[in-house]
């Protein structure tokens, strides 16, 4: 493969001080070696093929990672890809805690990068869950049962708006918070508005 060029717009990410810099640089070298185009998206180095997002490098407090945009389609023979949360449908992470963790599996990382690129070149898409496959919090189900008007308004929303509310409600760990979110959202739902409209 032909090594891709480094994008000057992304250099600040690799030059800024932080505990993941050695890992970032090693991951960058591997990704560029696979011939992907380096861009800056969402404040992170994102690597694309003919405009399609393939993988990005990002970091958190506990770890840094390669995020494969269509990781759900990858074979993952090593069983090392991580789904960030239950609601993440497509992307999967390869996580690292130090430079040794990166260099130890360099050939595996390159194999995964090649597979991700192959998936992008093939134009494969991750099938999206339907609204009915999203968890409906019990508290919201009760409210819908008690209010036919609200139920009709909710189901007349677009599937994307319905999913937005369901994710927002179920994202609260405590029952009280879920109930508060539902109660605050009722006027918006009745006005046929999405969470962010």
- Write out pLDDT tens, residues 112-163: 999 999 999 999 998 877 777 777 889 999 999 999 999 999 999 998 899 8
In the chain, % of residues over pLDDT 70:
98
Q: Is residue 195 part of a domain?
A: no
Residue that finishes a domain, picked among 99, 121, 143: 121
Q: What is the DSSP letter of 80?
A: -
Structure-token pair, residue 136 = 């409906």
What is the phi-psi region of residue 60: left when phi exceeds 0, alpha when psi lies from -120 to 50, beta otherwise? beta
Q: Are 81 and 70 in contact (CB under 8 A)?
A: no
The answer to whether residue 1 scores a pLDDT higher than 60 is no
Residue 39 or 133, more confident: 39
The string of pLDDT tens digits covering residues 142-155 is 999 999 999 999 99
Residues 115 and 136 in one domain: no
Structure-token pair, residue 193 = 């508005």
The pTM (predicted TM-score) of the whole model is 0.73
Q: Is residue 126 part of a domain?
A: no
The answer to whether residue 2 scores a pLDDT higher than 70 is no
Q: Are 98 and 85 in contact (CB under 8 A)?
A: no
Residues 29 and 80 in one domain: yes
Distances (CA, A) of 71 to 53, 76, 115, 119: 12, 8, 10, 9
Contacts of 187 (CB under 8 A, 6+ apart): none
Taking the C-alpha atoms of residue 66 and residue 46, their distance in angstroms, rounded to an integer, is 10
Residues 102 and 137 in one domain: no
- Full domain range(s) for residue 163: 131-190
Residues 13 and 106 in one domain: yes
Taking the C-alpha atoms of residue 31 and residue 53, their distance in angstroms, rounded to an integer, is 13
């Amino acid at each position: 493969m032909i090594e891709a060029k480094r994008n000057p717009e992304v250099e600040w990410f690799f030059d800024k001080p932080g505990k993941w810099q050695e890992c970032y640089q090693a991951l960058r070298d591997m990704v560029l070696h696979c011939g992907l185009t380096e861009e800056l998206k969402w404040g992170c180095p994102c690597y694309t093929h003919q405009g399609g997002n393939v993988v990005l490098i990002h970091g958190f407090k506990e770890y840094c990672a390669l995020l494969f945009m269509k990781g759900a389609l990858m074979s993952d023979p090593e069983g090392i890809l991580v789904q960030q949360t239950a609601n993440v449908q497509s992307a999967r992470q390869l996580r690292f805690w130090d430079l040794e963790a990166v260099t130890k599996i360099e050939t595996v990382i390159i194999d995964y990068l090649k597979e991700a690129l192959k998936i992008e070149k093939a134009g494969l898409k991750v099938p999206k869950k339907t609204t009915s496959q999203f968890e409906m919090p019990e508290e919201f189900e009760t409210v819908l049962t008690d209010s036919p008007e609200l139920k009709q308004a909710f189901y007349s929303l677009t599937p994307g708006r319905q999913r937005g509310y369901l994710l927002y409600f179920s994202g609260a760990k405590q029952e009280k918070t879920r109930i508060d979110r539902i109660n605050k959202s009722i006027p918006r739902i009745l006005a046929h508005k999405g969470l962010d409209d």
